[in-house]
Structure 1
Amino acid sequence: MSQTTPGAKLDVAGVLTGIRRMAPLSLFVVIFGLAFGVAALARGLSGFEALLMSALVFAGASQFAALELWGPEIPLLPLIATTFAINARHLLMGAAIQPWLAHLPPGQRYGSLVLMSDSNWAMAVADRQRGETNVGMLVGGGIALWLTWLLGTLLGVIFGSGITEPERFGLDVIMGCFLLAMLVGGRRDLSMLVPWGAAALAALAAMAWLPPHSHVIVGALAGGLAGLLLPARPTQEATA
């Protein structure tokens, strides 16, 4: 079966459908946005700076990682390397849907990727596998996630000034719980324990013996390398 979907299109109706389908999940994004807004104020950012970061960056994990490096003197190179390591998965995500978007005009093709995140990408991939030709799930879902991320950040900025101890409400561990949920909710395959274990051990070693904040990069590289060294699994077609 061909991996390309002929006649791929993007229209307003598809975008609205994507917004509607992503709306229930987007409500949970408000919580993470609120946690970011509170954490940003605690790290010394102004409310406007926190909102501007959420609007322009739109990458929760990277924004939280940036806050860990934030201070009077910002280590620029570690900040760039850390955010790149966290978001490097988007290179593979974009490559996975390239055959689908290739049928669109360049403006629509590249514009569709601006708001790509894990959730709307996953739903868009599922649509493509079912033979769907409209990429509205990618765009509309991204719009829904972006708006609720901004709303959550705004709520965090508004109410964050009154929360002097975010850890009392568990707001300091929300992002960690979110990433853990992504980890355990992914593909159920015992072979994945190899890259997970390699990443965890390398990160722990880096925290003990390497400069501060290097554990994210070291863990990501170790996990990725371990994943590359795993033997290729036969496809369903090959085993049929």
Structure 2
Amino acid sequence: MSRSTQVARLDLAGIIVGIRRMAPLCLFVVVFGLAFGVAALSRGLSGLEAMLMSALVFAGASQFAALELWGPEIPLLPLIATTFAINARHLLMGAAIQPWLAHLPPAQRYASVVVMSDSNWAMAAADYQKGKTNVGMLVGGGIALWVTWLFGTLLGVLFGSGIEEPQRFGLDVIMGCFLLAMLVGGRRDLSILLPWAAAALAALAAMTWLPDHAHVIVGAVAGGLVGVLLPARKGEKP
């Protein structure tokens, strides 16, 4: 793995490139947003509330999970715990690219992670592994995803019908497959399978014996620990 020693930068040209690279995946994000808009209305949220949730939360899995707990009386603590469990992976995702962002001005650094999601993080992490210095993929990709997520939610709110169960069409695995392809596509070392295997086994065990959504944290921590403990390959920085 070779990483550039040049200081990372963020500029408009890089952001535009990030938007263009993320554009094909955004088509699927619209479908998920549409499904969320429809589901939100069916759970009693107004169109404005659904749009505000998508704009401010910007986390599809957490938003759908929140709808499952939504009702006349909202269980606040379970809602907070569930949201944290689902999004805890962002702690490790942020830590993985922290060295890349560390030299950016604080305003740019924190603004970059505000729009971080699975897909643009995966592309950005791949760029980081290749030694690229422009952080525009993370920001531009995040902006593209956020805008299309809002657009999809708006479609669901306006038309009140759509694909309420994307898993019936296999659309729920598109993001996961994309993430996996981005992370392992450029690697020729089979050792990359060890952290993934550890994460999968730990997550499956957690799904069996621990409370709902705990598998997200358990799998992420297990995979991260195995990745950290793996010896660095020759020529790699530890």
TM-score for the superposition, normalised by structure 1 = 0.80
Taking the aligned partners of 1:109 and 1:225, their CA distance within structure 2 comes to 24
Let me know the Cα RMSD of the aligned residues. 2.9
Partner of 1:106: 106
Instruction: Give the stretch that moved more between structures: 196-205 or 64-73.
Output: 196-205
SS in 1 for 2:72: coil
- Seen in structure 2, the aligned counterparts of structure 1 residues 184 and 72 have a Cα distance that, compared at 3 Å, is same
- From 203, 216, 221, the equivalent of 1:220 is 216
Taking the aligned partners of 1:43 and 1:55, their CA distance within structure 2 comes to 18
Partner of 1:39: 39
Matches within 5 A, 1:24-173: 24-160=24-160, 162=161, 170-171=165-166, 173=168
Q: Which amino acid is the alignment partner of residue 60 of structure 1?
A: G
SS in 2 for 1:83: helix
Encode CA deviations 1:208-234: one digit per residue, 9 max, x unaligned. xxxxxx4223x3354456547869433
Contact 2:30 2:151 in 1 (8 A): yes
Encode CA deviations 1:58-82: one digit per residue, 9 max, x unaligned. 0011111111111111111111111
Contact 1:19 1:141 in 2 (8 A): yes
Task: Tell me whether 1:200 sits opposite 2:221 in the alignment.
Answer: no
SS in 1 for 2:54: helix
SS in 2 for 1:58: coil
SS in 1 for 2:114: coil
Gaps of 5+ in 1: 207-213
Taking the aligned partners of 2:32 and 2:95, their CA distance within structure 1 comes to 28
TM-score for the superposition, normalised by structure 2 = 0.81
Partner of 1:210: none
SS in 2 for 1:215: coil
Task: Tell me whether 1:233 sits opposite 2:230 in the alignment.
Answer: yes
Taking the aligned partners of 2:225 and 2:110, their CA distance within structure 1 comes to 32
Larger gyration radius, structure 1 or structure 2: 1
- Seen in structure 2, the aligned counterparts of structure 1 residues 202 and 130 have a Cα distance that, compared at 3 Å, is closer
